[in-house]
Amino acid sequence: MYLSLCSLLICSTVSAEDWGTVVFRDDFSIGVGANNMPDPSLWVVNRPESWWSTLGRTFFPSPVYHPDGPFPRVENGICTIEQHLYNSYDTGNPPWTLLGGEIHTVMDFEPVSAYRFEARVRCNSYPNGLVSSFFTYGYDGANSDEIDFEFVSKKTNDDVNYPNGDPVLTNIWNESQQWPEYKIDGNLNDWNTFRIYWYPGERVDWTWLHPLNGEVLLRSETNLNRIPDEPMALFFNFWAPNDLWQDAYDENLQPVSSESENEIFRYEIDYAEVRTPEPATLILMGLGSLLLGRNRRFNKK
């Protein structure tokens, strides 16, 4: 009896119209300062100083220590994160890092509710060896939790193995362990809207809003050992992995030594939004979770 009632009341009953509470949204209508960076009341640009400044082979210049940038910027309602082959801050001979960027929300999303993370993004045409992403991330000082959409150019440019659409990497991390899976969507050079549904203690869903067929489920993860349970922020970044990630790394993508040789690639974000269910739905979800917990305890006896 408890199980059937839980099936009715648990988070999976949240329908499209129930996600009515917007807890975060940015349409990127405001650029701040001389560099037109995203609103600092909403976003942290290129990581706080206590974190690493290099991801893979990409250096994220600090707005504090590297005022010439480049930084993620807002123009005409779009946030653009660039990847530069020339990094003026790299004095190596030859240089080994490119220039990229990242933004993440000032706000952390606590695992006390279900969340729907949504973003409309465009990857444009990239050479092999670059990764752009839309993901959530949290770190407790020892281990990380994460839910990812990653757009791996080495895969999206591979029309031989993927003739029916561009693969997107869906990945989930819990306590620094990961479970990645590639899924197929449309053309990443077009605008696409993706959603991450995080139901703490139950499951994670990754969906794509197909322009004709509506919302398409790409993956659902229900193994409770894989579901993140830490507070997480919302992230976007653009970077070049090193050879530790062979699926994404390409040795032909190399930094250049002079500005005259520079090439610039762009990852665009139209908007970002986070919603939670309506309060009445949350009450039902809580009741369902409570009853499910009771049922599990009874089953253990």
pLDDT digits (tens, 9 = 90+) for 236-289: 999 999 999 999 999 999 999 999 999 999 999 999 999 999 875 544 444 344
Terminal-to-terminal C-alpha distance of the chain: 16
Taking the C-alpha atoms of residue 102 and residue 120, their distance in angstroms, rounded to an integer, is 16
Q: Are 243 and 57 in contact (CB under 8 A)?
A: no
For 156, residues 6+ apart whose C-beta sits below 8 A from its C-beta are 123, 126, 162, 166, 167, 188
Nearest of 287, 278, 253 to residue 57 by alpha carbon:
253
How many residues can be counted in the chain? 301
Contacts within 8 Å (CB) and 24+ apart, 68-73: 69/35, 70/99, 70/101, 71/35, 71/37, 71/45, 71/46, 71/101, 72/37, 72/38, 72/45, 72/46, 72/101, 72/102, 72/103, 72/236, 73/31, 73/35, 73/36, 73/37, 73/38
Q: In this structure, is residue 110 part of a structural domain?
A: yes
pTM of full prediction above 0.85: yes
pLDDT the model gives residue 17: 60
Q: Are 247 and 154 in contact (CB under 8 A)?
A: yes
Q: In this structure, is residue 207 part of a structural domain?
A: yes
> Which domain range does residue 62 map to?
21-276
In total, how many domains does the chain have? Answer: 1
pLDDT the model gives residue 52: 64
Q: In this structure, is residue 272 part of a structural domain?
A: yes
Q: In this structure, is residue 5 part of a structural domain?
A: no
pLDDT the model gives residue 47: 81
SS (H, E, C) the chain: CHHHHHHHHCHHHCCHHHCCEEEEEECCCCCECCCCECCCCCEEECCCCCCCCEECCEECCCCCCCCCCCCCEEECCEEEEEEECECCCCCCCCCCCEECEEEEECCCECCCCCEEEEEEEECCCCCCCCEEEEEEEEECCCCEEEEEEEEEHHHHCCCCCCCCCCEEEEEEEECCEECCEEEECCCCCCCEEEEEEEECCCEEEEEEEECCCEEEEEEEECCHHHCCCCCEEEEEEEECCCCCCCCCCCCCCCCECCHHHCCEEEEEEEEEEEEECCHHHHHHHHHHHHHHHHHHHHHHC
Q: In this structure, is residue 284 part of a structural domain?
A: no
Q: In this structure, is residue 14 part of a structural domain?
A: no
pLDDT the model gives residue 278: 82
pLDDT the model gives residue 119: 98
pLDDT the model gives residue 293: 36
Identify residue 131 by its one-letter amino acid code: V
Q: In this structure, is residue 294 part of a structural domain?
A: no
Find the CATH number of the domain harbouring 136: 2.60.120.200
Q: In this structure, is residue 106 part of a structural domain?
A: yes
Which residues of the chain, if any, have pLDDT below 70? 1-17, 48-52, 280-301
